[in-house]
Copies of this chain bind each other. A is one copy, B any other.
Amino acid sequence: MVFQEERITEIGKKLHQAGMKLTPQRRATVSTLLEYQAKHLSAEELFTLIKQEEPEIGLATVYRTLDLLTELRIADRVTFEDGVARYDLRCENQQHFHHHLLCSVCGKVEEIHEDLLVEVEQEVLHKYGFKVQDHRLTFHGVCSSCSENTKQSEHGD
């Protein structure tokens, strides 16, 4: 929890650098993002959670804050196939957005924090002249535990 406070103060500084304030509403939003880090929560889901800490907050403010954090690259917005925007705090000193593994059997979303695309992005620059600043990479497939289960039930047959 101490780390949280440090992290929030640090984010507050970034806001001030951009000429903005760390209001109680924004503090509560960041704090909730920290608490549910890497859970890929939607704005509405976050809204419900943030209300527990800051009951007076309005939905629009949550949207505005998330936009703000995304612009300042403090948070990342990602949209999966359902078309709903989800938000994660960007890990400290992380250059790129992390990757996701989406299991088509159980629906679970895993994360990969190592950057698998360093070489691929070199290739993209050389072949297509495209300067990559960021990426979105999601794999669709079957997670380890679901493949285990499939194997077992095959043995059962």
Other A-B contacts than A101-B130, A116-B123, A133-B140, 20 sampled, CB-CB below 8 A, are A79-B81, A83-B85, A103-B130, A110-B128, A110-B130, A121-B139, A128-B144, A129-B143, A129-B144, A130-B139, A130-B142, A131-B142, A132-B139, A132-B140, A133-B142, A134-B139, A135-B137, A135-B140, A136-B137, A136-B138
Which residues 69-99 of A have a CB within 8 angstroms of B? 77, 79-81, 83-85
The count of chain A contact residues (Cβ–Cβ below 8 Å) is 36
**CB-based nearest B residue for A82:** B79
Known: A80-B79, A83-B84, A123-B116. A133 touches B141 (CB 8 A): yes
CB distance from A102 to the nearest CB of B (A): 9
Residues of A that sit less than 8 Å from B by CB: 77, 79-81, 83-85, 101, 103-104, 110, 112, 116-117, 120-121, 123-124, 128-144, 147
